[in-house]
């Protein structure tokens, strides 16, 4: 290989195992060179960064990355124009459009945002969403974390200035302490009709009940581990702290526990935990069917005692049980191994 174009061609031949996104960059770069006979300084920097990323593989293939990086392009290199180094947000035809430089971390985080209406327009190489304040808020919050320069069109700047007036406002029902009194902020009439008979107190029992209605507890009120446990609809516990978990259950006045099949019978930690439950008069049942089909007896028991669900952590089973949280279970608890070794 005597020029960088040779290296680019080599990276596309399958000798080096590259990710799908990196392969796409190499392929697009080769296409740009063929069509424009020029690349930008930013494209060159990314090319060099990726060669360094795959340096171990290149060395194993008897290719010295330093020598490859010392090669020159046969094609021209032009300075990247400023407009292509910033994130630009515009409003067109009642849609929000986002054009931004390639940023892998941004793409990953952007895709994982809940209720994100943006879709990728492959032809225009931009993200597009129907205009709504939620989409604008998503961009306003995430773009500064990944880009130094952000440009909004005049129309969107006006909307942003209006929305700034609501900074610090609470839109999700939240229990807060205001001047020594407890209030549920952003409580709707329908929600109030369901919870009006629940005494608002700084107790595990109160926090546990409120969590079932999707009410957040202000972090300033969660100054004790049991209060945090009670307020969390999903909770993770180290298997070395099962006695503490049993104390949380007792102090929250939880009367029953249902173990998913993966809880098992052979681990000594499990046996200890069951003894802790017995000492505190907490009922328990272990799922019998390994395929997750509840028997009539199990269903009746769940409906009667409204237990918390406990299982050893496994992403394979998470969605199956999450879908049942509103069908009889009061809480979802993962038992995890944080450096602990399970003992048979």
| 225 and 294 together in one domain | no
The parent domain of residue 147 ranges over: 83-166
Q: Which of 82, 88, 87, 9 is nearest to 41 (CA)?
A: 82
> Phi/psi class of residue 164: alpha, beta or left (left: φ > 0; alpha: ψ in -120 to 50)?
alpha
What is the sign of the dihedral through the CA atoms of 109, 115, 118 and 119?
A: positive
| 193 and 288 together in one domain | no
Give the total number of structural domains in the chain: 4
| 27 and 105 together in one domain | no
Burial 233-242, CB ≥16 within 10 A → b, else e: bebebebeeb
Q: How far apart are CA 13 and CA 133, in angstroms?
A: 45
Neighbours of 70 (CB within 10 A): 9
| 151 and 249 together in one domain | no
Domain boundary, last residue among 217, 232, 247: 232
Domain boundary, last residue among 37, 58, 79: 79
Q: How far apart are CA 234 and CA 333, in angstroms?
A: 6
Q: What is the pLDDT of residue 219?
A: 93
| 59 and 155 together in one domain | no
| 51 and 147 together in one domain | no
The model scores a pTM over 0.85: no
Domain boundary, last residue among 232, 257, 276: 232
How far, CA to CA in Å, does 217 sit from each of 179, 201, 242?
16, 12, 24
| 266 and 333 together in one domain | yes
Q: What is the pLDDT of residue 265?
A: 46
Q: Report mean pLDDT in 10-residue bins for the chain, 344 residues.
A: 92 91 90 89 90 92 91 88 78 92 86 87 90 87 90 88 70 89 89 93 96 92 96 88 95 92 59 91 85 79 90 57 60 72 36
| 299 and 244 together in one domain | yes
| 278 and 204 together in one domain | no
Residues 6+ apart with CB under 8 A from 321: 260, 309, 311, 329, 332
Helix (H) or strand (E) holding 289: none
Q: What is the pLDDT of residue 259?
A: 87
| 339 and 260 together in one domain | yes
Helix (H) or strand (E) holding 187: none
How far, CA to CA in Å, does 82 sit from each of 42, 192, 247, 284?
11, 53, 59, 64
Please tell me the number of Cα atoms within 13 Å of 147 on its side-chain side.
26
Q: What is the pLDDT of residue 340?
A: 41
| 159 and 175 together in one domain | no
Q: How far apart are CA 308 and CA 258, in angstroms?
A: 6
| 155 and 203 together in one domain | no
Contact by Cβ (8 Å): 133, 159: yes
Q: How far apart are CA 262 and CA 314, in angstroms?
A: 9
Q: What is the pLDDT of residue 133?
A: 79
Q: How far apart are CA 80 and CA 217, in angstroms?
A: 48
Q: What is the pLDDT of residue 342?
A: 38
């Amino acid at each position: 290989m005597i020029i960088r174009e040779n290296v680019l061609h080599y990276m596309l031949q399958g000798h080096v195992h590259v990710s799908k996104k990196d392969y796409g960059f190499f392929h697009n770069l080769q296409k740009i060179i063929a069509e424009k006979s020029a690349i930008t300084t930013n494209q060159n920097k990314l090319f060099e960064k990726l060669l360094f990323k795959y340096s171990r593989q290149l060395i194993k293939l008897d290719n010295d990355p330093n020598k490859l990086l010392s090669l020159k392009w046969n094609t021209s290199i032009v300075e990247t124009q400023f407009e292509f180094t910033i994130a630009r947000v515009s409003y067109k035809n009642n849609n929000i459009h986002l054009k931004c430089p390639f940023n892998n971390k941004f793409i990953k985080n952007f895709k994982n945002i809940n209720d994100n209406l943006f879709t990728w327009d492959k032809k225009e190489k931009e993200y597009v969403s129907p205009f709504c304040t939620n989409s604008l808020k998503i961009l306003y919050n995430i773009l500064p974390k990944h880009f130094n320069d952000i440009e909004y069109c005049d129309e969107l700047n006006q909307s942003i200035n209006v929305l700034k007036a609501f900074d610090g406002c609470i839109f999700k029902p939240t229990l807060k302490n205001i001047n020594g009194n407890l209030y549920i902020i952003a409580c709707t009439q329908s929600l109030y009709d369901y919870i009006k008979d629940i005494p608002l107190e700084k107790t595990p029992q109160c926090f546990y009940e409120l969590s079932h209605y999707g009410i957040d507890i202000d972090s300033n009120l969660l100054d004790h581990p049991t209060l945090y446990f009670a307020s969390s609809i999903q909770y993770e516990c180290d298997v070395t702290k099962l006695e503490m978990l049993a104390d949380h259950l007792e102090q929250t006045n939880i009367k029953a526990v249902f173990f998913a099949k993966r809880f098992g019978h052979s681990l000594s930690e499990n046996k200890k935990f069951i003894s802790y439950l017995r000492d505190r008069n907490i009922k328990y049942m272990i799922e019998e069917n390994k395929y997750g089909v509840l028997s009539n007896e199990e269903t009746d028991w769940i409906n009667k005692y409204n237990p918390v669900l406990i299982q050893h952590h496994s992403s394979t089973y998470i969605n199956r049980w999450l879908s049942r949280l509103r069908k009889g279970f009061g809480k979802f608890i993962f038992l995890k191994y944080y450096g602990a070794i399970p003992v048979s």
